[in-house]
Structures are given as structure tokens and as C-alpha cells.
Amino acid sequence: MGTLNLATLITEIRAFHAGRSDLTDEVIITQLNLVQERLARLWQWEELYLTETKNIAITSDAAADKILVLSQTFRDITSIRLITADGGSRKLEYIGTRSFDKLYPEPEFHARGDPRIYIQLDTHTIELYPVPLTADSLKLRGTSWATAFSSSSTGSKSSFDRKDDILIYWACSLIWDRLGEYERAKRFFGVANQMIDQAKDEQETKPDREIKPLFETGRGSGLPGNYWYDPFIRNVR
């Protein structure tokens, strides 16, 4: 989460424009929200990672049970795991909507079972195949969009973690560009770009993170002795 609230961000941005009377709060908020969208598209920021546990409800209507409405809004879903009542788990596979509709045009007419495949219909809805048979749960991971600022909540802070300086300078660049001051817009955008590069480097630099090939992950701690006999251990195939 950001450090400065919306009211302070507006004050700082207005100060960079010498307190212009024609620079209204609504104009500044609009530019801040545009910056947040562009910044979210630019990089997979850790603070925008999202998780959710969704309990599956079973009814007599298979057509309804194949659709799950999530409580959170996902930009992209990166992983869904099925967790069964006995503690078992399975990672669901994603396929595109066109391929899904070609292979399973009406999943509700197929036999129910443990879901193996999902598609993302929109930012908060998924469809499963097979249609769930038991009331298990799903654990989802993904990314979200930043929460938009609103003039009705000037005490709110940005969804981005300690990136208020980027928001201020990038928003100033957009405003100067809007006013026809292209050299000033370019100067502020250059500063914002430097800050973005620094933020990327900071996220990528983890002192205790060592990247290993999948076949080495977990050796000595999680694999059975004769792991090559187990068809479910994919990280050594």
C-alpha cells in the first residue's frame, strides 16, 4: 500500500504546477487512475498478487454448478488448485474459451467428477469441467488491478507499495502533456521511468532467493527415495 493518501498526492501534484487554479481535483484523480492502470500493465508487481479460497456448492442444477462466481476481481488467474475433503489436491489446467467450447460445449451433460479444467469467463467468473461432484474447495492465485481513486475517499491510499513518487511524477507528465507543455511532460516522464526501473530491480533482487531448475527443487526434503517410480512427481520428468 502507498504511504501518501489521495489528498496529499493531489497537493503534491498541484505544487508541481504552481497551484494552477484550472487544475481541479477531478483532473488530477483522472490522471492518477490512468497512471495506475498503465503501471499495472507494465509489470507484475508483487503487491497486486491476489489469492482466494472458493468453496464449491453442489445443487441439483449441473448447469449452475459448472459456473463459480469469485468474491474478488482477478485481472489474470495464474493457478487454481482443487482441494478435496480428504486433503488431496490437484492443479487444474487452463484452456482458452474457444478450445473449451469446442471440446465441452455443454459440460452439464457430461458425468460429474473432480474438476480438471477451467476457463476464465471474466474478471470474477470461472467455468469448470467436469462439473463438480462434491463440495470441495478451490485455491486461486492471480493478479488484480489497482483500486481506483475516488474524490469521495480522499483518505485512501494507492494499491502500489511505496510507489507514490512514481504516481506523482507520471501524473505530472500526463498533465503537462494535456496542457501542451511537451518538454516539461518529457522531463517528468523521464524521472518516472527511472523510478520504475529502480522499483523493478528492487522487486527482482531478493537476497535469499536462489532460482533452481524444477528437477532440483525439493531434493533431499520432499521426494521419496525411489521418486522415479512415482508418476505424479512431474518435476523430475
Number of domains composing the chain: 2
The pLDDT score that the predictor gives to residue 21 is 85
The answer, yes or no, to whether residue 23 has pLDDT greater than 70, is: yes
Q: Are residues 32 and 56 in the same domain?
A: no
Q: Which residues contact 175 (CB under 8 A, 6 or more apart)?
A: 13, 17, 23, 27, 28, 31
Q: Is residue 149 part of a domain?
A: no
The answer on pLDDT for 97 being more than 80 is yes
Q: Which residue has the higher pLDDT, 79 or 233?
A: 79
Residue 124 lies in a domain: yes
What integer best gives the mean pLDDT of the chain? Answer: 89
> What is the arithmetic mean of pLDDT over 116-130?
94
171, 110: one domain: no
125 and 80 inside one domain: yes
Location of C-alpha cell 503537462? 176
Residue 1, domain member (yes or no): no
Is the pLDDT assigned to residue 219 strictly greater than 60? no
pLDDT of amino acid 74: 92
Each residue's pLDDT tens digit, 46-66 = 999 999 999 999 999 999 999
Identify the domain boundary among 119, 144, 169: 144
Pair 164, 194 in one domain: yes
Residue 221: is its pLDDT beyond 60?
A: no
Say if 223 falls within a structural domain: no
Q: Between these two residues, 204 and 7, which has the higher pLDDT value? A: 7
The answer to whether residue 193 scores a pLDDT higher than 60 is yes
Check whether residue 64 and residue 119 sit in a common domain: yes
- Which range (28-42, 161-175, 209-223) has the least confidence? 209-223
- Indicate whether 137 and 100 sit together in one domain: yes
- Residues 52 and 39 occupy one common structural domain: no
pLDDT value of residue 215: 57
pLDDT classification of 1: cutoffs 50, 70, 90: confident
Q: Check whether 100 has a pLDDT greater than 90.
A: yes
Q: Confirm whether 92 is domain-assigned.
A: yes
> Percent of the chain having pLDDT more than 90?
78
Note whether residue 188 is domain-resident: yes
pLDDT tens digits along 158-169: 999 999 999 999
Asked if residue 152 belongs to a domain, the reply is: no
Read off the pTM.
0.78
Same-domain check for residues 169 and 127 = no
Q: Which domain holds residue 87?
A: 48-144
Same domain, 116 and 181: no
Looking at the domain assignment, is residue 91 inside a domain?
yes
